[in-house]
Amino acid sequence: MDWAPDSVIVRLGGEIWIKKSWTRRWYLRRLVRNIRVVLEHYDVAYDQIIRRNGRVFVATCEAQASAKRLSRIFGVSSVSPALNTGTDLDAIVNVSLSVAQRILTAGNSFAVRCKRVGKHPYTSQEVCRVVGRRILEALADRKVRVDLDNPDLRIGVEVRDDLAFVFAEVIKGVGGFPLGVQGRIVGLLSGGLDSAVACWLVMKRGCSVVPLYFDNDPYTGESVNKRTVEVARVLSDWAVGFPRSLYIVSYGASLKEIVEGTPRRLTCILCKRLMYRIAERISDRVGAEGLVTGEAIGEQASQTLRNLRVLDEAAERYPVHRPLLGFDKAETEMLARKIGTYEVSARSVEGCEAVPYKPATKAKLEEVMEAESKLDIKKMVDRCVGGLAVVSL
């Protein structure tokens, strides 16, 4: 579109407006803070950020480019590059016509849509009617026409009290809640499809994620490590203004004790239970409210309903959240593509060599606890937590 917008209309996720007034104010403050941080992170020049009755307006000469950045902020339902105009009807009509002259070509159909909040000497329907008539008259030589049901282009007008804007594009946002309003959560990140999508989903609900990776060397290779770091970077791009760090546990020695000292069919169950215990200790350290994993029912042998119940018993102090519990692989892949982790996560890497040929699918808690009695669990947890590394992304 060959026009020069000077503002961005930021529309808030609908869920924010069903909250009580004090909660809503807190969410809005966090959202504005996140918008400001994103603009500054990407060196976007802006004059001001204005809140008005369910909208945030950003005055910037880089509106077209910054709109796509702002659409990736959690809590935003959609954005539109726009031209600021006065609330006088003549001013709205003139700016709308200017936009129409730039974007409508011969034979195009169009519709005018207006949303108005506040007291004004005109109705929304009147704005649509007057703007539409003026465009038809001015562009008669282009043979443009009105189509309210399926137009080629839509011209939108937003009037909010003493502000008015004209726009011609709506970029869909991700919705959800502003990142940071729900506190921290430790995300068990493997670098694969599932764990990355699970972390993103809780981010969408307002949780800042502390990504935790278990390095299984020598049971996995360096390619797995590199993949996980890249996935963590992609997730960090969705969390501008929050720490860009990956917590890494050197886990190989502990996994070796499990492989060599317990029944092989229980390796994956025992491995994950120990990971939960380590993640709980790290949750203590970072002030998290729980753990999140990419586990889905039946996705792997360790993720049957019976085994998930056995796994949960190891997490004594923090809840384990599984946002993908009912997802199938196709649904997870679709989200991975949307958020940008698919190409990295789908990369071929060496599988974990500690996985047994025939893992238990219906482990009994009693036999798992009997196997753990042969291990010094506390020592293993202390060793892993003591060797924790934090990598800047």
**What fold is seen in the domain 184-392?**
Rossmann fold (3.40.50)
Question: Could you report the per-residue pLDDT of 172-185, keeping only the tens digit for each?
Answer: 999 999 999 999 99
Section 380-389 average pLDDT: 97
- DSSP secondary structure letter of residue 14: G
Give the residue from 186, 240, 239 showing the smallest Cα distance to 213: 186
Q: What value does the mean pLDDT of the chain take? A: 95
Q: Rounded to the nearest 10 degrees, how much is the dihedral formed by the CA atoms of 234, 238, 239, 245?
A: -10
Tell me how crowded residue 194 is: count the other CB atoms within 10 A of its CB. 24
Omega within 30 of 0 (cis) for the link into 218: yes
pLDDT at 3 over 90: no
Could you tell me if 58 and 14 are in contact, meaning their C-beta atoms sit under 8 angstroms apart? no
Burial class (CB in 10 A: 0-12, 13-18, 19+), 54: middle
CA distances to 64, 99, 147 from 133, rounded to whole Å, are 28, 14, 13
Handedness of CA 10, 14, 20, 23 (dihedral sign): negative
Q: Give the pLDDT confidence score for residue 15 in this predicted structure.
A: 87
Can you tell me the distance from the alpha carbon of 207 to that of 296, in angstroms, rounded to the nearest whole number? 20
Helix (H) or strand (E) holding 247: strand 245-250
Q: Give the pLDDT confidence score for residue 21 in this predicted structure.
A: 87
Point out the least confidently predicted range of 47-61, 101-115, 311-325: 47-61
Q: Give the pLDDT confidence score for residue 16 in this predicted structure.
A: 87
pLDDT at 90 over 90: yes
* SS3 category, 145: strand
Q: Give the pLDDT confidence score for residue 171 in this predicted structure.
A: 97
| Backbone phi and psi for residue 94, each to the nearest 5 degrees, phi listed first | -65, -45
Section 299-320 average pLDDT: 95
Residue type, 191: G
Q: Give the pLDDT confidence score for residue 141 in this predicted structure.
A: 95
Could you tell me if 163 and 50 are in contact, meaning their C-beta atoms sit under 8 angstroms apart? yes
pLDDT at 1 over 70: no
pLDDT at 67 over 70: yes
Question: Which tokens sit at 137?
Answer: 């008259």
Give the residue from 201, 202, 165 showing the smallest Cα distance to 185: 202
pLDDT at 4 over 90: no
Q: Name residues whose C-beta falls within 8 Å of residue 43's C-beta, 6 or more positions apart in sequence.
A: none
Strands 208-215 and 184-188, by their bridges, are parallel
* SS3 category, 385: helix
Q: Give the pLDDT confidence score for residue 17 in this predicted structure.
A: 81
Question: Could you report the per-residue pLDDT of 224-255, keeping only the tens digit for each?
Answer: 999 999 999 999 999 999 999 999 999 999 99
Q: Give the pLDDT confidence score for residue 6 in this predicted structure.
A: 95
Question: Could you report the per-residue pLDDT of 95-111, keeping only the tens digit for each?
Answer: 999 999 999 999 999 99
pLDDT at 53 over 80: no
pLDDT at 348 over 90: no
Question: Could you report the per-residue pLDDT of 197-213, keeping only the tens digit for each?
Answer: 999 999 999 999 999 99
pLDDT at 163 over 90: yes
Can you tell me the distance from the alpha carbon of 319 to that of 316, in angstroms, rounded to the nearest whole number? 8
Could you tell me if 188 and 291 are in contact, meaning their C-beta atoms sit under 8 angstroms apart? yes
Q: Over pLDDT 70: what percentage of the chain? A: 99
pLDDT at 69 over 90: yes
- DSSP secondary structure letter of residue 393: -
CA distances to 10, 50, 76, 131, 156 from 173, rounded to whole Å, are 9, 19, 5, 28, 17
Can you tell me the distance from the alpha carbon of 16 to that of 178, in angstroms, rounded to the nearest whole number? 9
Could you tell me if 67 and 215 are in contact, meaning their C-beta atoms sit under 8 angstroms apart? no
Which option is the CATH number for 7-172: 3.40.50.720, 3.40.50.970, 3.40.50.300, 3.30.2130.30?
3.30.2130.30
Section 281-296 average pLDDT: 97
pLDDT at 14 over 90: no
- The pTM of the full predicted model, rounded to 2 decimals, is 0.94
Domain positions in the chain:
7-172, 184-392
Can you tell me the distance from the alpha carbon of 222 to that of 287, in angstroms, rounded to the nearest whole number? 30
